[in-house]
Structure 1
């Protein structure tokens, strides 16, 4: 029960389901420490040592983008939306659900329960900023089943 409450709603933790050992579900935070020197604009982070073998082992199936691409975005949810869109720029299509958006972006209750509020106060302004300030051009529609269909174009390499 505890993992269900903090696991899916905690974006900074990785959830493991080991086949052996004491636990059948383990949540591990990405970072053990994060500190900033705000006057200099510098962040120093320290990864959890129990995750290092997974981090070092990454060779494919991850998303990269230049921080310059989204450096002018200021809202953390807008930046996270940009990251999600960047994952699908090669295919040009991202299909997701309202429930997934709720969990990924830790949306306030008003946006979780009211689709019009979600669009008005998060998706539309965030996409406007992304379209104006980044190399991505994105728009969305909602199909008959309620799924969000995002179309994504890389302005630097349009297909």
Structure 2
């Protein structure tokens, strides 16, 4: 993947994955990104391979950390993914909420700095995006964001770049971002300790310029603009 990485460091993420409920640490999220990057270069007529190879050297190069740090981060990120589940909210079918484990198996070759990660086959369709319901963004644009929930907010905002407005709710953010109880219970606390610091980071470090309004009803309205 190294040659591809030099050309373009983009992630293509399905809207279902963006809207799912999960909370991963930054290390695990970065490992997931390294897998999503590989689907970006997949042709639509290729079959979806459940096994992804994650190289410590790619993590080191993209996220600008030492080799030792990259090795530790990838290992911890892979182990976290192996323990974690993701919750989907399908718009049709028998269930309106489904929980699935991310991985089937993960194996590492320490001497080569490589991990082979096999995703749950029921999660796989959300990783390989072959339709038009997806969002593309660059890791160069958001790689400096250090808080995993700020990253998730950025991904959600990117989904609505073309319309320039995203209307959501306190309850939706609480559920999908798995926010702590203090932020779930109190909109003012959510604004003070999550939304406002997160938007300062996004406005400072990414190509987006975002403002928002919070209504007493719990509705949140984000105005999204691309910086010139």
Aligned to 1:88: 160
Relative to total residues, which structure has the larger helix share, 1 or 2? 2
Aligned to 1:5: none
Tell whether 2:100 aligns with 1:14.
Answer: no
CA distance in 2, matches of 1:79, 1:142: 20
Q: Give 5+ residue unaligned stretches, structure 2.
A: 1-19, 24-85
Aligned-residue offset at 1:138:
0.6
Q: 1:15, 1:28 within 8 Å by CA — same for their partners in 2?
A: no
CA distance in 1, matches of 2:225, 2:203: 10
CA distance in 2, matches of 1:14, 1:48: 14
Q: How does 1:1-159 map to 2 (within 5 A)?
A: 10=22, 12-14=86-88, 18=93, 26-33=98-105, 45-53=117-125, 55-56=127-128, 58-143=130-215, 145-156=217-228
CA distance in 1, matches of 2:124, 2:226: 32
Aligned-residue offset at 1:143:
3.5
CA distance in 2, matches of 1:113, 1:36: 41
Aligned-residue offset at 1:90:
0.5
Q: 2:207, 2:226 within 8 Å by CA — same for their partners in 1?
A: yes
Aligned-residue offset at 1:35:
7.3
Give the secondary structure class of the aligned counterpart of 2:137: coil
> Which of 102-111 and 27-36 deviates more?
27-36
Higher relative contact order (CA 8 A, sep 6+): 2
Please, what TM-score do these two structures have when normalized by structure 2?
0.53
Q: 1:82 to 1:60 in 2, by over 3 A?
A: same
Aligned-residue offset at 1:56:
4.2
CA distance in 2, matches of 1:97, 1:135: 24
Please, what TM-score do these two structures have when normalized by structure 1?
0.74
RMSD of the alignment, in Å? 3.1
Q: Give 5+ residue unaligned stretches, structure 1.
A: 1-7
Aligned-residue offset at 1:50:
3.3
Per-residue CA deviations over 1:53-100 (Å, capped at 9, x if unaligned) read: 565462211111011110000000000000000000110000001100
How many residues in Structure 1 have an aligned counterpart in Structure 2?
143
